[in-house]
Amino acid sequence: MRALPTPGRRCQIVRFAAVGGVNTLTFSACYLPLHRLLPYFAAYTAAFVTSMVGSFFLNTCFTYRTRPTWTKFLLFPLTQVTNYGVQSAGLVALVGWCGMNTAVAPLVAALCALPFSYLVSRRILRPSARTGPTTKAGPPPVRSGGPA
């Protein structure tokens, strides 16, 4: 059984959810106008990419409180591959199989992808201490001879 999240981790999850709310608004602000001009899936993809760039900066600076770097920026789309896949499959299923309205279906699909998105983005933007170089201070060297 897993331990409960620490208070710091809980705050991080709350910040992630807040960023998700902002991303949802950004996505909707892009998707809904584009939906009138483009096929729904093209509008969805353009809105997704736009909100992903915003998500990177909000998550690095606000959620995980880490410095944005070019490396993280270039890796961040990898964190969204799962998210995009889950959302895309959900969108197609909700619209094609369930007949859901194309203006609402992306929001429902996004909710299904949230847990995956959090875990993967945390892994990329806040790598564990084990992934970086280690500089452990070992015991002091033993000196031979003479009093200590």
DSSP string across the chain? -PPPPPHHHHHHHHHHHHHHHHHHHHHHHHHHHHHHHS-HHHHHHHHHHHHHHHHHHHIIIIIS-----HHHHHHHHHHHHHHHHHHHHHHHIIIIIT---TTTHHHHHHHHHHHHHHHHHHHHHS--GGGS------PPPPPPSS--
| Count of alpha carbons within 13 angstroms of residue 52, beta-carbon side | 22
Q: At residue 90, does pLDDT exceed 60?
A: yes
Span 17-70, pLDDT tens digits: 899 889 889 999 999 999 999 999 999 999 988 998 999 999 999 999 999 999
From residue 95, how far is each of 16, 46, 98, 101, 107 by CA, in Å?
Answer: 27, 18, 6, 7, 12
Q: Has residue 43 been placed in a domain?
A: yes
Q: Is pLDDT larger for residue 79 or for residue 3? A: 79
Tokens 């309205």 sit on residue:
101
Q: Tell me the C-alpha distance between 128 and 70, whole Å.
A: 19
The total domain count for the chain is 1
Q: At residue 139, does pLDDT exceed 90?
A: no
pLDDT of residue 7: 66
pLDDT of residue 20: 84
Altogether, the residues listed in the chain come to a count of: 148
Q: Has residue 110 been placed in a domain?
A: yes
Q: Has residue 133 been placed in a domain?
A: no
Mean pLDDT of the region 111-130: 78
Q: Has residue 139 been placed in a domain?
A: no
Q: Has residue 140 been placed in a domain?
A: no
Q: What is the mean pLDDT of the chain?
A: 82
> pTM for this one?
0.62
Domain encompassing residue 88: 7-127
Q: Has residue 1 been placed in a domain?
A: no
Q: Has residue 70 been placed in a domain?
A: yes
Q: Has residue 138 been placed in a domain?
A: no
Q: How confident is the model at residue 6 (pLDDT cuts 50, 70, 90)?
A: low
